[in-house]
Amino acid sequence: MAYWVKFIYDRETYVVDLARIGAFCRSPNGKIAFWLPQSRTPVVIHPQSNTEAYQTVVNFINKTVQYSLGSHWVKINYEREEYDIDLNRISSFCCTPGNGKISFFLPDSGMRIIIHPQSNPDDYQKVVDYIEETTGHDLTG
């Protein structure tokens, strides 16, 4: 279901369907970043500069990640930021033999996420479980 939000960013007015966003990134300073669908264009919203749009995005993330049926949203801590990612929108995963690290690209951004089993075991297991449940393949074995 569509979840439209209107906001001003970089002196332009956007109307974006948040339901089409496949990943959000939260920084320790409170900013939220996401990438516009099919464009690789990043949008960064700060709570101080755009309070209403920021709160709408936060509400959407909280509602979607916790209660979304039929999707596989996960929270992954990566490079001191928290990513909310819909794994259903990831089209390929790669595993490095020997160290077992798994990598994939965020939808619409092209940013590569690399998860190590030793440094991030909980998030690593979430991704491994998703891959096995969805594809039927054991990528790490």
**Which whole-number Å values give the CA distances from 68 to 11, 20, 50, 121, 138, in the listed order?**
33, 13, 26, 24, 25
pTM of the model: 0.89
Strand partners, 15: 6
Amino acid residing at 9: Y
**62-99 per-position pLDDT tens digit:** 888 777 666 688 888 888 999 999 999 999 999 998 89
Give the chain's domains with CATH numbers: 4-66 (2.40.50)
Residues 25-56 pLDDT 10s? 999 999 999 999 888 889 999 999 889 999 99
Question: Measured between alpha carbons, how far is 55 from 77 in angstroms, rounded to an integer?
Answer: 21
User: What angle is formed at CA 79 by the lines to CA 77 and CA 84, rounded to 5 degrees?
Assistant: 35
